[in-house]
Amino acid sequence: MDARQESERDRMKNRTEVERKSERELVVTRTFNGPARLVFEAWTKPELFMRWWVPKSAGISLRSCEMDIRTGGKYRLVFETKGPNPMEFFGRYIEVTPHSRLVWTNDEGHEGGAVTTVTFEDKGGQTLLVMRDLYPSKEALDDALASGSSNVDAMPETFDQLDEVLVTLDQGAGQQPSKT
């Protein structure tokens, strides 16, 4: 991709919004320039999922990614960290409706884990993605906000390296990531 195309792409980048919708709900929204079935595919095929879930230059990498995408199926993500212990995220899919809806639990750590619902909605060639984290109580969300949930702590403060990551990804586009 040349420089002109690249700046064009940056200009076209869609905005990610986050809002605390209620005492126990956090909502992320984003539009994608593609049909819902492709966004859903990128979310549910481990080899594709692994390519975008962890910014590559963040100093951590995904050691393994098991996703049994069906209602009742389990998932487990294991991260390699700089520390001695790998970090794990796991839970269960409560609902899987192809191309439109995914619901899963976040069972790592504690009882206060949220239930995450992602909806994929076709909007004339684009997809409106809405991700809701519903916590069991106001206190659980407050705690997550106060302590920094594991999800966020997993990411070192290296978001400024992101441009670098995107360039790397771009160069690597078309190559299949190696499976381990």
Partner 1 sequence: MVQFSKTRLDASFAALSDTTRRGVLEQLGRADASITDLAAKFDMTLTGMKKHVGVLEQAGLVTTKKVGRVRTCKLGPRRLEEETAWIERYRQLWAARFDELDEVIEELKRKETIDGRKTRE
Binding site for partner 1 (CB under 8 A): 13-20, 26, 28, 30, 32-34, 38-39, 41-43, 48, 51-53, 55, 129, 131, 138-139, 142-143, 145-146, 148, 151-152, 155, 157, 159, 162, 165-166, 169-170, 173-174
Least spacing, CB of residue 163 vs partner 1, in Å: 10
Q: Minimum CB separation from partner 1 for residue 133, in Å?
A: 9
Smallest distance, partner 1 to C-beta of residue 40, A? 10
CB of 72 to partner 1, least distance (A): 26
Residue 15 or 84 with smaller CB distance to partner 1? 15
Closest by Cα among 66, 78, 151 to 113? 151
Q: What is the 3-state secondary structure (H, E, C) of 64-122?
A: EEEECCCCCCEEEEEEECCCCCCEEEEEEEEEEECCCEEEEECCCCCCCCCEEEEEEEE
Residue 73 one-letter amino acid: G
Nearer to partner 1 among residue 1 and residue 95 (C-beta) = 1
Residue 43 in tokens: 């979310």
What are the beta bridge partners of residue 79?
62, 87
